[in-house]
Chain A
Amino acid sequence: MRYTITHRTLYQYSSGVALCHNEARLLPKETPWQLCRPSQIRIRPRPALSDERLDFFGNRVLYFAIQDVHYRLEVTVVTEVRVLDERPFHESSPSPSWEQARQMLWENPDPEIIEARLFALDSPFVATGPAFRDYAEPSFPPGRPLLAAVADLNQRIYSDFKYDPHFTTVATPLDEVLQERRGVCQDFAHLGIACLRGLGLAARYVSGYLETLPPPGQSRLIGADASHAWLAVYVPGVGWAEFDPTNDCMPNTQHVTLAWGRDYGDVAPLTGVMTGGGSHSLKVSVDVAPQAEAAVKKFKPATNEIQPAPEP
């Protein structure tokens, strides 16, 4: 599938911001199953300087600083991506039993497997504990293949938890999510990760977008999409299998990957520190627009261009 993704963030401040430093993780990752065209990045006011780098997890990070007094900050990133049906795992993929997978993770000296152990440890937003392990247990009877077990857990989170955008914030503790059985995609991803890590498995957080289909007979609403999040579990020696507990599915061509990390804290789309600003308001709009496959041209490796600003 081919999409044009438009992610627009607008901050408005009650008093002037004299200086701000920001980091955006809004540039989609290149993966074997996802090709990206150079993004068009529009930042207003224009940053005094900006710099792209790859972070520890291989995500693309754009640093930028605005050094003149401003009352609003607008960041729009438009990227064309092509998602291929080539993710390493599908619903029917074979996998070792979850105990074997765990044993391999902790005992195999392969450098890649050793490195994956990072994702089996607690991280700032995901501290595991007996409650998560207990919740996960019914999905993990002895000898069950890893992917089947995780798919079951994924399905249970989907049916046990209520999607409720008014219940949680970025700062809602995971214990509360588990107890109240409600939250949003970010909470469900964190919850799944906590369950898997509690069993000694490696799991990571994936941020991205999801193509939403309009109800039959209606046309797509532009800009009504949202950022999305799901998780991936490590199958030692093979790779990462993705699961979306919010939609009870394994991501395929409708899921566009932005970045991944230990948890949300590693991949927050836009962070910043500013001097001044008073109170502020935030508007985010995301549009995932499918493009006709016929129009697919040759994709070049991703590098971006920051557009020159037209003079007002």
Chain B
Amino acid sequence: MIEAAVAFPDSPQSPHDPLFSDYPVATAGYDEMYSAPGVLRPHWRDMARFLENTGGVELERRYSEIQRLLQADGVTYNTYDDPHDSQRRWLLDPVPLLMTGEDWTELAAGLEQRSRLLNTLLADLYGPRLAIRRGWLPPELVYAHPSFLPACHQSLPANDRWLIFHGVDLARGSDGVFRVYGDRVQSPSGAGYTLENRIILARALPMLYRDAPLRRLASFLETERATLTRLARHRPENPHVVLLTPGPSNPVYFEHAYLANYLSLSLVEGEDLVVRDGRVWLKTLGGLRPVDVILRRVLDAFCDPLELRGDSLLGVPGLLQAVRSGHVALANALGAGLVENPGLAAFLPLLCRQLLGEDLKLSSLPTWWCGHSGDRDYVLTHLDELVVRSILPSSPYWEGGQLTAAARVQLNERIQAAPHLFVAQAPALLSTAPVLEDGRLTPRPVMLRGFSVAEDQGYRVMPGGLARVSSGLDTLQAALQKGGISKDWWVLAPTPQRHVSLLRQAYGPIVVTRDGSDLPSRVADDLFWLGRYVERLDGNARLLREALGRLLEWEQDNTDERCLDDLLDALDIPVPPVAESPRARFFALRQELLNLVIAAEHPGSVKAIFGGLLRTGRAVRNHLGDDSWRLLNRLQQRIQEPPQEIGARQARELLEEELMLVAAFSSLNNETMPHHQGWLFFDVGRYLERVLRTLDLFKLAFITARNPGLPLWEVVLTITDNLTAYRRRYRSALHPTAIIDLLLFDEGNPRAVGYQLRRLQRHIGRLQQPSGSPYRSVEERLILESLTTLQLADIAALATLSHDSTRSSAELTRLLDALQTPLMGLSDALTHSHFSHAEVPQQLITMRP
């Protein structure tokens, strides 16, 4: 494997590179790499050698490369509270965390048992409730917690599993012992990030990863897929499995899209699904398609507005009833969130003996439940050593040792008022692992998230998982929102293991999943709007670029700037009132234009339009190619992080670059998306937007212009990028009739209305018609009306435009209106025929406690 230039002696010993100068650690804690100052743990020997050979400078370079790759792949962790740039970067340390096979085997046995225990506990609490009736678990702990959902009582057949996927937060303490910090079952995220971390590191550090003796992850994900398939009791041959996501604004949406792609599932949102005839169906362009299994990443309470939270828009009305009738299986079952209750930790040793007849192998963090008077007294007298938490979801915690006297009294009162809602934990110091910081390895506390998945008998544990730098007090979500650093967690194998090609297969340049008539209607809708936003961005960026160009020319040469007013009209921003001096006017105009480039307030600004583009783009993440996605990420960087103190000239250059990226994005989609239903909607969106904009531009230049004439005509040709085409064809001064021929009637010029209408007609004709009717659909009739109007237009009547003829001008107005009116109805007609899923369900009665 890794050849070392400097051979290490066989006895574990500390390397001497400056990389290691923060090591050895002198503290009494447990370090993953060193067993004592100067004594390297044997299983780190090869890694330390590799790190030393690579050196701090090169590692920093690789670190940058890793972050670049992550960003290019769009690995993000975004938060709800930041509306504009809502995506956080995912940070990944280049140094993996190593664990011996022996350590892992013991840990995995504990995790497997924990999954079995929690599954048994769920079956009991939503069934006979022996744990409560026999006094093993206090009723207050379960019943007072909002995760207990009476509606889920007995909702699964007796032998079905409640827990399919299980995420466990754990850490090794300074005493070297692993303890569990919490369980994640409603949306046990992290497996996708784990996989992506592994793939990115293998790309950035191929020498290290190619033949490393580590357990691979692919077979675990194979088990996940097999388990999901097996859940489809009624249609085991070819079940339809979907991943239900809360949508692109969810912090871990990246992972939802990633896993759906990797496991070949349809990525759906609540509104894509409907319950009819007691079954769950996916609304597609071709009609309803049955769903057999739902891998859900929506919290329990939000999954069914009929029986659970009535105000939820993320769920599917009637879902729980469909589960009861046995026609659909959910992983995890609804109600599973019950076992995320941190108070359970205090009772697991007893429950494990009673429910499984086994001793608990893997302990939790020492936990006291304040509902017991003895525990409460202990907590209140030992506050200094403890961390107090409310058991309610997303509640704060209090570090007893850090509290002021007043805060302590206040906490005491809160606990006394509802003791059953509080637990206290004794956090241990976490073990440390080397993390690259400023070219050196620094010992940092790490937490782990392990994963297990149900298989035929018991549970299978992922060999490895997600490691992250953390003090142990915050949750994964909190840590990542603050910009935490993740690490790849290696489980060492006795022999080198090849980097399995399964990963490559699934990860390779697959571009489009499921297309055609089984395309979800919502996805078609989003693709249509993606197309419209792309073209809108292109159009406004062109207008802005032109306006900034005119502004700069005016400043330099004092040339005619009158058409700037018309450009402002086209951009839908008010023309600034007459200024005292040309200088003042210049600055006012400049500010207006710059705002459209770098601020997001105006709906026509580049930023605002891009916001729509990105939202729809993320919603159809799995229908875009990886390269398209990289372009989108780059475009996002340019648009959302423009340089500070930007001037007109830099803004123009920035727009130039953005235009190239948008053009690359559209044409890459044309080149990579199969030209089936999904692409058709994207293309129809683009050309509908383009034709509407072109007609607007005509109206502006030839009918409503404040300053009609040659300069404006030239602007029209520049904005449509047809100035050269015009010159080549006509070799003459600008003449309106010639411009109109080039940009209105020409059916071979992609910038001309004629071409655009033809293309729309062709593609609308190919859209899947839900009705299957032999007659023309509304949208087909509308486009036909517009195209025919154009083809029957009397070109001769427009020939005198340049002479300011009122007749010609009126004729043109009539023509443009006749072209535009049917097109305005087209968007609505498409929505009605293809996307009418969007109606939000409402409650019969409003009940809000």
| Chain B residues near A282 (CB-CB < 8 A) | 845
**B771-817 at interface with A (beta carbon < 8 Å):** none
| Chain B residues near A114 (CB-CB < 8 A) | 132-133, 135, 139
Does A48 lie at the interface of the complex (its beta carbon under 8 Å from any beta carbon of B)?
yes
In chain A, what residue has the closest Cβ to B321? A63
CB distance from B746 to the nearest CB of A (A): 45
Does B841 lie at the interface of the complex (its beta carbon under 8 Å from any beta carbon of A)?
yes
Count the A-B residue pairs with Cβ separation under 8 angstroms: how many? 104
A111-B134, A271-B306, A274-B842 as given contacts; A55 in contact with B849, CB under 8 Å: no
Q: Which of B272-280, B494-502, B655-663, B760-768 forms contacts with chain A?
A: B272-280
| Chain A residues near B28 (CB-CB < 8 A) | none
| Chain A residues near B846 (CB-CB < 8 A) | 170-171
Contact in complex: A21, B306 (CB < 8 Å): yes
In chain A, what residue has the closest Cβ to B145? A121
A18 CA / B847 CA spacing, docked (Å): 22
Contact in complex: B139, A118 (CB < 8 Å): yes
A305 CA / B135 CA spacing, docked (Å): 41
**Chain B interface mostly:** loop
Contact in complex: B276, A19 (CB < 8 Å): yes
Does B310 lie at the interface of the complex (its beta carbon under 8 Å from any beta carbon of A)?
yes
The answer, among A170, A264, A273, for a CB contact under 8 Å with B306, is A273
Chain A 269-291 near chain B by CB (<8 Å), digits 1 or 0: 01111111100101000000000
Contact in complex: A118, B143 (CB < 8 Å): yes
A39 CA / B276 CA spacing, docked (Å): 26
Contact in complex: A274, B841 (CB < 8 Å): yes
**A82-127 at interface with B (beta carbon < 8 Å):** 109, 111, 114-115, 117-118, 121-122, 124-125
Does A23 lie at the interface of the complex (its beta carbon under 8 Å from any beta carbon of B)?
yes
Does B203 lie at the interface of the complex (its beta carbon under 8 Å from any beta carbon of A)?
no
Interface centre among A21, A122, A265, A282 (most CB of B within 10 A): A21
Does B724 lie at the interface of the complex (its beta carbon under 8 Å from any beta carbon of A)?
no
A109-B135, A124-B849, A276-B839 as given contacts; A57 in contact with B150, CB under 8 Å: yes
CB distance from B364 to the nearest CB of A (A): 24
A107 CA / B527 CA spacing, docked (Å): 62
| Chain A residues near B140 (CB-CB < 8 A) | 117, 121
| Chain B residues near A302 (CB-CB < 8 A) | none
Does B318 lie at the interface of the complex (its beta carbon under 8 Å from any beta carbon of A)?
yes
Interface centre among A170, A263, A272, A273 (most CB of B within 10 A): A273
| Chain A residues near B847 (CB-CB < 8 A) | 170-171, 264-265, 268, 271
Contact in complex: A22, B133 (CB < 8 Å): no
Does B305 lie at the interface of the complex (its beta carbon under 8 Å from any beta carbon of A)?
yes
Does A295 lie at the interface of the complex (its beta carbon under 8 Å from any beta carbon of B)?
no
The answer, among B133, B151, B420, B849, for a CB contact under 8 Å with A56, is B151
Contact in complex: A56, B153 (CB < 8 Å): yes
Contact in complex: B133, A115 (CB < 8 Å): yes
Chain A 239-277 near chain B by CB (<8 Å), digits 1 or 0: 000000000000000000000000111101011111111
A21-B317, A21-B318, A49-B277 as given contacts; A115 in contact with B139, CB under 8 Å: yes
Chain B 3-43 near chain A by CB (<8 Å), digits 1 or 0: 00000000000000000000000000000000000000000
CB distance from B318 to the nearest CB of A (A): 4
In chain A, what residue has the closest Cβ to B318? A21
Does A11 lie at the interface of the complex (its beta carbon under 8 Å from any beta carbon of B)?
yes
A57 CA / B153 CA spacing, docked (Å): 10
Does A67 lie at the interface of the complex (its beta carbon under 8 Å from any beta carbon of B)?
yes
A48-B277, A114-B139 as given contacts; A268 in contact with B325, CB under 8 Å: no
Does A293 lie at the interface of the complex (its beta carbon under 8 Å from any beta carbon of B)?
no
In chain B, what residue has the closest Cβ to A118? B143
Does B824 lie at the interface of the complex (its beta carbon under 8 Å from any beta carbon of A)?
no
Does A160 lie at the interface of the complex (its beta carbon under 8 Å from any beta carbon of B)?
no
Does A177 lie at the interface of the complex (its beta carbon under 8 Å from any beta carbon of B)?
no
Contact in complex: A273, B305 (CB < 8 Å): yes
Contact in complex: B150, A56 (CB < 8 Å): yes
Contact in complex: B844, A111 (CB < 8 Å): no
9 residue pairs from A and B, CB less than 8 Å apart: A23-B307, A67-B276, A67-B277, A118-B143, A125-B849, A265-B847, A271-B847, A273-B305, A274-B844
Which residues of A are interface residues toward B (Cβ below 8 A)?
A: 11, 18-23, 48-49, 51, 53, 55-57, 63, 65, 67, 109, 111, 114-115, 117-118, 121-122, 124-125, 170-171, 263-266, 268, 270-277, 280, 282
The 6 A-B pairs of least Cβ separation, nearest first, read A272-B844, A111-B133, A56-B150, A273-B317, A21-B318, A124-B849
